[in-house]
Amino acid sequence: MMQEVRCGQCRRLLAKMLPPSEVQIKCPRCGAINHQKAVSLVSQAPPSADDRGCHGKATQSPRP
């Protein structure tokens, strides 16, 4: 869902964005600098996604 970014002083609509992200915009109406950061952090990949076995050892496929 798109999130509206409005000026903190005059409430003018400055942008619409998909969270999570970070943006800094200068309002063309009143000149205020508006800075908005992500609400949630991007999660890291699960441990099983790094091509390692269940005990943390690198696995190799047998070659013919």
Average pLDDT of the chain to the nearest whole number: 70
- Residues 35, 57 contacting (CB under 8 angstroms): no
According to the model, what pLDDT value does residue 59 have? 52
Segment 31-47 shows an average pLDDT of 66
Does the pLDDT value for residue 11 go beyond 80?
yes
Segment 5-12 shows an average pLDDT of 89
- Using pLDDT thresholds of 50, 70 and 90, give the confidence band for residue 61: low
Comparing 28 with 50, the larger pLDDT belongs to 28
Domain ranges of the chain: 3-39
According to the model, what pLDDT value does residue 39 have? 62
Strand 13-17 relative to strand 3-6: parallel, antiparallel, unpaired?
A: antiparallel
Phi first, then psi: give them for residue 13, nearest 5 degrees.
-70, 120
